[in-house]
Amino acid sequence: MIQEFLRGSYEGLRLEHVPLRFSRSTAEIGAFDLRKIWVLARTVADVVRARFRSGATVLYYPPAGPNLVPVLRDLVLLSATRWLFKKTAFHFHAAGLASIYPRLPWPLKPLFWFAYSKPDLAIFTTAATATEATVLQAGARCVVPCGIHDEAAQCDVAQCDVEKVQSNGAFPTILFAGILCEGKGLITLLEACDLLHRAGMKFRLVCIGAFESAEFRKRTEEFIRSADLQSSVEFPGVVVGSDKIQLFRTADVFCFPSHYASESFGVVLIEAMCFSLPIVATRWRGIPEVTGEEGTFLVEVRDACALATRLNELMRSPELRLAMGQRNRQRYLDRFTMQTYRTGMSNALEKLA
């Protein structure tokens, strides 16, 4: 989302980008690595150089979520650079930062407030995750929902919908996208698929993304073997471009049973909406605010039985999938286009500047 914001063109803003290249893969996210100390030092130097070269007056920064290693990174980087700028805008793509404060060692607590407190503006992706603004005593707050390009426009959406309704003999395809980990609800989804399989349902589950760790991958594969789901579940890995478009285009249902600690929005949800997919998701953080309930079934977190019930309902009714998917497509067009996102970002930051 930050990359797409930077690619926009704005009359009242000039952007100077210093990339944060701390993690090179999914497995490195939130993990300590000696290499990151060097990257941190280099990034601080880059920010200082960019500040004086560009004359920038506002520091725009995406704070960490409730994970100690990224928070320690922020404490160093923000303490070293924030004082150079007249104003600070924090953009909270991750939720739950304030929840880590009670777990910090006491010497780090004053540094936490020095680095994070009293930003001039706090930008959130959903209102449900905006409590950080009060805790950190932000001068102003606003909600700017994420947005994506209309990749489905490359397809004939109406014809695709007709084909899905007419393909009654084919196994329905359930699509999951995200980090393959416990927090994103993958085990709960597999447990729901086990229930569907035991009930005699035929389906195909495609899970795109990278595994969080080798240990979690092993745990997942062991569950699939024990539940005899090998012929029903696929892991194509990280998928981008036309291959990703094809998977979203041919899927029948999108499932996102997340209870991820730093979940704030879930961009994959609006990707599913863009492609007219009905959604089964969880009542967790900002997810209900993103999806609404017209084209989405919401269940409680870690409730495999409820998840299986809703998936079963959708898989048995192509007409219901079509109706809910069309409502999601309209919700995307009304709220989550790239133009809407960029306009919201420019309005917030131009007002601050």
**Which tens digits make up the pLDDT trace of 47-73?**
999 999 999 999 999 999 998 999 999
> In the chain, pLDDT over 90 holds for what percent of residues?
87
Segment among 11-15, 31-35, 139-143, 191-195 with least mean pLDDT: 31-35
Pick the CATH number of 151-335 from 3.40.50.300, 3.40.50.2000, 3.40.50.1820, 1.20.1530.20: 3.40.50.2000
Average pLDDT, stretch 239-243?
Answer: 94
- What average pLDDT does the segment 328-352 reach? 96
Does the pLDDT value for residue 159 go beyond 60? no
Over residues 250-308, the pLDDT tens digits come to 999 999 999 999 999 999 999 999 999 999 999 999 999 999 999 999 999 999 999 99
State residue 44's pLDDT score. Answer: 97
What pLDDT, on a 0 to 100 scale, did the predictor assign at position 21?
A: 86
- Mean pLDDT, the chain, whole residue set: 93
Instruction: For 78-133, write each residue's pLDDT tens digit.
Output: 999 999 999 999 999 999 999 999 999 999 999 999 999 999 999 999 999 998 99
pLDDT value of position 29: 74
The 3-class secondary structure across 257-317, one letter per residue, is CCCCCCCCCCHHHHHHHHCCCCEEEECCCCHHHHHCCCCEEEECCCCHHHHHHHHHHHHCC
| Domain 2-147+338-352, CATH | 3.40.50
Q: Which residue has tokens 């014809």?
A: 159
Give CATH 3.40.50.2000 domain extents, the chain: 151-335
Q: Which residue's entry shows tokens 């009930």?
A: 199
What pLDDT is attached to residue 160? 59
Q: pLDDT grade, residue 155 (50/70/90)?
A: low
Evaluate the CA torsion angle 16, 21, 26, 28 in order and state its sign: negative
pTM listed for this prediction: 0.91
pLDDT of residue 26: 72
Residue 193, H or E segment: helix 186-198
- The β-bridge partners of 60 are 89
Residue type, 127: A
* pLDDT tens-digit map of 68-93: 999 999 999 999 999 999 999 999 99
Three-state secondary structure along 163-187? Answer: HHHHCCCCCCEEEEECCECCCCCHH
Evaluate if residue 180 carries a pLDDT over 70: yes
